[in-house]
Amino acid sequence: MGVDVCWDPATEQPPARRAAFASMTAVTAGDKTAWLGLFAGDAVVEDPIGKSMFDEEGKGHHGHDGISAFWDKTIANVERFQFTIRDSHAAGDEVANVGTITTYLPGGYRVDTDGVFVYRVREDGLIVSMRAFWETERAMATARQEG
């Protein structure tokens, strides 16, 4: 069993790590406005990277309109999120977080998505890129209904 890596967002942290933490916080709070406010106007979200049920062309979700539509298609349909970050590697203007996103879906279903979640920020701390490396089939294999 792994040990969660925790960092105190009140202490000095690299800008990309702070942005990733703010993103996870906004998602768990269900605060779409706060989440969109973390992204630059020309940002791109690839979650997961490549073609998927969320991105049929595999080109990512571009700008606030595309990222907003991604929220509506994915995040808005989840009852609760839990982020477990087991490791975090910050370098330059990016951070790669290794962990599991647990989603609680309507009907009592739960899915655990293991992956690497990479955020890149610009000088003002706004996210310009969020890329999520995870496998749909692997995540769906964890789907189960809970009590």
CATH number for position 138: 3.10.450.50
Assign residue 65 a region (left: φ > 0; alpha: ψ between -120 and 50; beta: otherwise): alpha
Count of domains for the chain: 1
Per residue of the chain (147 residues), give pLDDT as tens: 344 455 565 567 899 999 999 999 999 999 999 999 999 999 999 999 999 999 999 999 999 999 999 999 999 999 999 999 999 999 999 999 999 999 999 999 999 999 999 999 999 999 999 999 999 999 999 999 986
φ, ψ of residue 16 in degrees (nearest 5): -65, -35
- Supply the pTM of this predicted model: 0.91
Structural domain that includes position 140: 3-7+14-145
Beta bridge partners of 82: 102
